[in-house]
Amino acid sequence: MATKVKTPLDDKIYYIVTGVILFLITVIVLLPLVNVVANSFSEPAAVIAGRVKFWPVNFSLRGYEAVFEYKSVMVGYRNSFVYMFLGTFINLIMTMLAAYPLAKPNLPYKNTVMMLFTFTMFFGGGMIPNYLLLRDLKMLNTVWSMVIPGAISTYNMIIMRTFIQNSIPNELAEAAEIDGCNEFFYLVRIVLPLSKAVIAVVALYYAVGHWNTYFNAFLYLNDPDKKPLQLVLREILILNSINEEQLLMSDENVAQQGMADLLKYSIIIVASLPVIIMYPFVQRYFVKGVMIGSVKG
């Protein structure tokens, strides 16, 4: 019984130490984000002077007004939405077409097809051969270069396949077969409705991926009117090339610099808005996806 008395003290120390560590981690994650939000709602002079910490200084919406008046940002926003919705739609259809047959137990040649998929996870043609392919297909500078080359992610396909395998009993397929329901109908009538959860997960994975990437657009698009938001953001946030005329500010240099900085903070928020809005809902499903994915198929 002596040990019984001693253990809680050890444990207390343990809980305090982990508590402090977790607190610090949370703070480190949170502070930069709070700072960005606070800056985005402040006035230009306070932003440029670095006076904004974790609460807006002289609350103003001028940053956001500037964002919404910034034409190329709005064009990028629209383009990104188009690429995201169209891309995800194509992704889902293609992924489902692959996942359902591959989830069928003892379908002949299933493993061969599976290997064809898995190999692409570890090896690929690389930048130039892909570029040349799209050039030959006349897909450069078109919407299709944004939505077709990544039509199926093997990882997402495996998540979907694992889900179908594990949560739709094979007896159902056998019963349907006896009743004369063919595989096409079975896919539409049974598999799709029962896979809503995993479709949501995979759709969100794809959608966030489309929204956040810039690499394909960077390689395949050069028409400014087709650029997705992330490329426009790159020009503003990274290359620092802000179209001064679009800011409509006083000609005072400092004010203009402050406005440019403020614009960056606000743009960060606006660009992340779709994901932020989805977040509470997304989070639950994303976590589910990781769980399904971690079950080795």
Partner 1 sequence: MNSTPAKSAARPLTLKQRQRISRHKLARRYWRMYVLLALPILYLLIFKYYPMFGVQIAFRKFDPVGGIWNSEWVGWHYFEKFFTSSKFKRVVPNTIILSLYSLAAGFPVPIMLALALNTVRNERIKKLIQTITYVPHFISVVVLVGILYQVFNVRSGLVGVAYNAVFGKNMPDLFGKNYFRHIYVWSGVWQSMGWSSIIYMAALSSVDQELHEAAQIDGASRFQRVLHIDLPTILPTAVILLIMNSGNVMSVGFEKVYLMQNSLNNRVSEVISTYTYKIGMTAGTSDFSYSTAIGLFNSVINLIILTLVNTVSKKISSTSLW
Residues between 195 and 254 that touch partner 1 (CB under 8 A):
208, 211-215, 219, 230, 233-234, 237-238
CB nearer partner 1, residue 68 or residue 215: 215
3-state secondary structure the chain: CHHHHHHHHHHHHHHHHHHHHHHHHHHHHHHHHHHHHHHHCCCHHHHHHCCCCCCCCCCCCHHHHHHHHCHHHHHHHHHHHHHHHHHHHHHHHHHHHHHHHHHCCCCCCHHHHHHHHHHHHHCCCCHHHHHHHHHHCCCCCCCHHHHCCCCCCHHHHHHHHHHHHHHCCHHHHHHHHHCCCCHHHHHHHHHHHHCHHHHHHHHHHHHHHHHHCCHHHHHHCCCHHHCCHHHHHHHHHHCCCCCHHHHCCCCCHHHHHHHHHHHHHHHHHHHHHHHHHHHHHHHHHHHHHHHHHHCCC
According to the binding rule CB under 8 A, does residue 98 interact with partner 1? yes
How many residues of this chain bind partner 1 (CB under 8 A)?
94
Q: For residue 89, state whether it binds partner 1 (rule: CB under 8 A).
A: no
Closest approach of Cβ 59 to partner 1, in Å? 18
Stretch that binds partner 1, among 8-16, 67-75, 194-202, 242-250 (CB under 8 A): 8-16
Residue 217 CB, shortest distance to partner 1, in Å, is 11
Phi-psi region of 16 (alpha: psi -120 to 50; beta: other; left: phi over 0): alpha
244 neighbors 256 (Cβ within 8 angstroms): yes
Q: Does 178 bind partner 1 (CB under 8 A)?
A: no
Judged by CB under 8 A, the stretch of 21-29, 60-68, 81-89, 194-202 that binds partner 1 is 21-29
Q: Is 15 in the site for partner 1 (CB under 8 A)?
A: yes
Nearer to partner 1 by Cβ, of 11 and 244: the residue is 11
Segment near partner 1 (CB under 8 A), from 57-65, 110-118, 161-169, 247-255? 110-118
43 binds partner 1 per the rule CB under 8 A: no
The reply to whether 132 sits near partner 1 by the rule CB under 8 A is: yes
Taking CA atoms, 52 is separated from 48, 62, 211, 236, 259, in Å, by 9, 15, 29, 21, 14
Considering only the stretches 56-64, 65-73, 159-167, 276-284, report the one whose residues sit in contact with partner 1 under the rule CB under 8 A: 276-284
Should residue 107 be labelled a site residue for partner 1 when binding is judged by CB under 8 A? yes
CB of residue 5 to partner 1, shortest distance in Å? 10
Segment lying near partner 1 (by CB under 8 A), choices 25-33, 159-167, 193-201, 247-255: 25-33
Residue 294 contacts partner 1 per CB under 8 A: yes
- Of 14-22, 62-70, 161-169, 248-256, the segment contacting partner 1 by CB under 8 A is 14-22
One of 37, 42, 43, 47 touching partner 1 (CB under 8 A): 47
Rounded Cα gap, residues 209 and 206, in angstroms: 5
Answer yes or no whether residue 97 interacts with partner 1 by CB under 8 A: yes
84 lines the binding site for partner 1 (CB under 8 A) = no
